[in-house]
Amino acid sequence: MEQKVAETAVRVLIVDDSATARLSLRQAFSEEPTIEVVGEVARGAEVLGQVRRLRPDLVTMDVYLHTENGLDVAATVMAERAVPILAVTAANHQNPELVYRAMAAGVLEVCAKLPSPQAADYPARRAELVRIVRALARVPVVRRWASARPSSAPSSSATEAREPVRIARQPPLPSDLTQNIVQSAEWVLLGASTGGPQLVCDLLKNLPRLVVPVVVVQHITRGFTDGFAEWLAANVRRPVEVVQAACVAKPNVVYLPGDGHNVELRGGKLLAPVSAPSSAFTPSIDVLFASAARHAGPSAVAVLMTGMGRDGAAGLLDLERIGATTVAQTPSTCVVDSMPRTAIDLGAARFVLPPKDIARFIATRCSAV
């Protein structure tokens, strides 16, 4: 008897050049009435056309197709017709370089291919895959700007600062973005979640050398922080440090909270308290922003960027109320716009800017070396 598909079933398009792998996913999803496989594609050149025709809620994408890179295919899809994409790969799905290249392409998450149905961990792995598919299918993604394409991170893990790329031949910012704001900022604070790593990387790459510290809270899976730090350091041409204990903040250094830690400002120091077990997000953008509202006041420039959920919106409102410079990314440019949109709805963002203007805006608030 043919299985009845639930009315609210997630419509999935499977992309994999292996017939065996496609069969494995189709069988795994066939056991779940809330997931419907609407199509299968073996060649990357056919994916965009099938996305347009079938209008799936989610695409599972193999990273390595027969003659194409699945991440390049994902980037093309996200530039033309945005849809949640889950990379499913036989490669090491915890490889930081692979993860950040995938995020740069607009992929929401990377997970491992399923083992044999006879494997002892198959039921648990299948259940986790189903959970991920359901969750990601509800993520409201938007088209990526056309220049977004995955690029391999350099193999170097050096953290020495090099001369940053400076913005050239850009039109001046509108006068309402350059007036009536504290010009001598002492902190730059960035918060991001889904879709954030490549955006954070691009922003930092386009900042001049600063005389203030930069603190970044990026929602990230435990175990990926060190890889994220190495990847950033190799790309942004400035030192990147992971904060796991109290330290004095230094100019032009990018700070990330360590695994299981939040990061807070206090005077000229950064603290790294262990996050509460009940915390919805670790690290928490709200924790950083709220501490800045208490201890940095108007001297902070805080930017809330792409991400799912509400983290950072309340903290940005705290900063706005005490006169700090508060910025939200323009929702239409976000991979997922929930976080900045929530901040805007709360009245927490004094400025709403697209990514191409955020770095220049920060530079007008901070002294450069």
Report the catalytic residues: 193, 219, 311
Q: How far apart are CA 123 and CA 115, in angstroms?
A: 10
- Tell me which DSSP letter residue 95 carries: -
280, with CB counted inside 10 A (0-12, 13-18, 19+), is exposed
Of 1, 4, 2, the closest CA to residue 33 belongs to 4
Q: How far apart are CA 318 and CA 324, in angstroms?
A: 9
Q: What values do phi and psi take at 30, rounded to 5?
A: -65, -20
Token reading at 246: 């109290």
Strand, coil or helix: 64 = strand
What residues contact 330, with CB distance under 8 A and at least 6 apart? Answer: 340, 352, 353, 354, 355
- Residue where the block lists tokens 């259940």: 127
Q: How far apart are CA 103 and CA 121, in angstroms?
A: 27
Q: How far apart are CA 50 and CA 37, in angstroms?
A: 13
Token reading at 95: 């490889």
Cβ 108 vs Cβ 75: under 8 Å: no
Q: What values do phi and psi take at 337, rounded to 5?
A: -100, 5
